[in-house]
């Protein structure tokens, strides 16, 4: 954590992208080189590092997690009439990727402890049209992958992991992003490891990989051509343009090389919040994240749950007035205009509705110093104690 060397800033932002060290050096190498487009040396080095972190899969860098989710939906062969079970407490892209294929997201409620999909509700959402389950590891805390994988295996369903927030986190000792046939990672500037915009598709089932490369390269077999396996490349399947340029990959490489240190730093800040708010939770004045003992999370989000939605709105106003930029998270997709149009709901969504209406994410980034964090803690403590 940065030492407390300066006066508290008047505004404590929710996010503040920070450099890991070698970004400018690597960017200089790209800008003075001869390869600016995608799939060059920096892309390959990033992919190799991702494959070390997620050893069961092959990685393809993408321009966003959204792009990786779209690729996964194409690889899954989703089409009109198909259904994909997923939580509604997620970002639009989890569902949008499915809708773009003409298929339908079916929302189920989340668990009140981890805020992840409630695996006990999969059976009620299953129909003859169900083709896949899309799980979201909220805040880098793993979904209950053992029962989810058992359920999927028994019914021949594909599993896609929206691991946008989950790099460098584990479930029962195994890295998130290695469980499903496909996983999608985000390097958006709000994530732990960043490149401004950016993402990666992880393909854990090798039988899908050659098609993934084709979809990635606009439906062509250009990757094979670059490897010298064919003498010219051509259009062989549908696909789109999902490659980031080498400029993005160079920035990302500097971050990925430091992924362990960046995660450790983030966890330190996360635990400082936890220690500060534990007693308030015991008193029933707010709730803080719950991480099951078999999950190693990555400190991506620290949130508090206000006792009621009315108090959440009041707390937010006071936080902002005090210059502390806490923010809400997802508007549940089942209540969004597009969700109502393109998706359907299985069962009761009361946990999702309740959690979404009471949650505040606190400032958490690597430029946050102890004075700033103490200020956040003090303002939230005063709110919870009703002062």
List of residues contacting ligand PLP (CB under 6 A)? 64-66, 90-91, 93-94, 136, 162, 164-165, 186, 188, 199
Closer residue to ligand PLP, CB minimum distance, 88 or 221: 88
Residue ranges of E strands in the chain:
58-62, 83-87, 104-108, 130-136, 158-162, 170-171, 174-175, 182-186, 199-203, 295-296, 303-305, 344-345, 359-361
Burial class (CB within 10 angstroms; exposed 0-12, middle 13-18, buried 19+) of 37: exposed
H helices of 138-201, in order, are 145-154
At its nearest, how many Å lie between ligand PLP and the CB of residue 166? Answer: 9
Burial letters 18-36, b for 16+ CB under 10 A, else e:
bebebbeebbeebeeeeee
At its nearest, how many Å lie between ligand PLP and the CB of residue 377? Answer: 25
Tokens of 102: 């003409």
At its nearest, how many Å lie between ligand PLP and the CB of residue 228? Answer: 32
Closer residue to ligand PLP, CB minimum distance, 115 or 285: 115
Q: Are the beta carbons of 362 and 380 closer than 8 angstroms?
A: yes
Radius of gyration from C-alpha coordinates of the chain: 21
At its nearest, how many Å lie between ligand PLP and the CB of residue 188? Answer: 4
Q: Are the beta carbons of 349 and 87 closer than 8 angstroms?
A: no
**How far apart, in whole angstroms, are the C-alpha atoms of residue 187 and residue 196?**
7
Task: Report which DSSP code applies to 206.
Answer: G
Closer residue to ligand PLP, CB minimum distance, 136 or 383: 136
Closer residue to ligand PLP, CB minimum distance, 94 or 223: 94
At its nearest, how many Å lie between ligand PLP and the CB of residue 241? Answer: 15
Closer residue to ligand PLP, CB minimum distance, 42 or 187: 187
Closer residue to ligand PLP, CB minimum distance, 167 or 383: 167
Closer residue to ligand PLP, CB minimum distance, 64 or 221: 64
At its nearest, how many Å lie between ligand PLP and the CB of residue 256? Answer: 15
Work out whether strand 104-108 and strand 83-87 pair parallel, antiparallel, or are unpaired: parallel
At its nearest, how many Å lie between ligand PLP and the CB of residue 382? Answer: 30
């Amino acid at each position: 954590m940065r030492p407390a060397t300066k006066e508290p800033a008047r505004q404590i932002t929710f996010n503040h992208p920070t450099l890991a060290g070698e970004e400018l050096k690597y960017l200089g190498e790209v800008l003075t080189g001869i390869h600016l487009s995608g799939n060059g040396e920096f892309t390959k080095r990033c992919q190799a590092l991702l494959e070390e972190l997620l050893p069961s899969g092959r990685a393809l860098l993408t321009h966003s997690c959204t792009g990786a989710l779209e690729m996964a939906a194409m690889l899954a062969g989703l089409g009109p009439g198909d259904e994909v079970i997923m939580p509604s407490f997620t970002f639009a892209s989890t569902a949008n990727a499915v809708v773009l294929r003409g298929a339908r997201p079916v929302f189920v409620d989340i668990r009140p402890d981890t805020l992840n999909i409630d695996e006990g509700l999969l059976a009620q959402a299953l129909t003859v049209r169900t083709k896949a389950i899309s799980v979201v590891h909220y805040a880098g805390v793993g979904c209950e992958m053992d029962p989810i994988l058992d359920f999927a295996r028994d019914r021949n369903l594909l599993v896609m992991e929206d691991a946008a927030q989950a790099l460098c986190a584990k479930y029962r000792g195994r890295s998130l992003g290695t469980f499903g046939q496909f996983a999608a990672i985000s390097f958006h500037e709000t994530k732990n490891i960043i490149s401004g915009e950016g993402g990666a598709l992880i393909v854990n089932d090798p039988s899908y990989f050659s098609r993934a490369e084709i979809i990635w390269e606009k439906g062509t077999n250009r990757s094979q051509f670059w490897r010298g396996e064919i003498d010219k490349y051509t259009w062989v399947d549908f696909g789109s343009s999902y490659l980031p340029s080498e400029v993005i990959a160079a920035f990302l490489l500097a971050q990925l090389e430091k992924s362990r240190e960046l995660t450790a730093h983030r966890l330190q800040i996360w635990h400082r919040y936890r220690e500060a708010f534990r007693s308030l939770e015991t008193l029933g004045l707010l709730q803080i994240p719950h991480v099951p003992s078999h999950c190693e999370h990555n400190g991506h989000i620290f949130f508090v749950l206000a006792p009621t939605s009315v108090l959440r709105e009041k707390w937010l106003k006071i936080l902002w007035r005090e210059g502390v930029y806490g923010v809400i998270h997802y508007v549940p997709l089942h209540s969004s205009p597009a969700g109502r149009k393109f998706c359907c709901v299985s069962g009761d969504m009361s946990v999702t509705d309740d959690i979404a209406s009471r949650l505040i994410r606190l400032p958490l980034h690597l430029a946050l110093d102890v004075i700033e964090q103490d200020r956040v803690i003090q303002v939230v403590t005063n709110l919870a104690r009703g002062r």
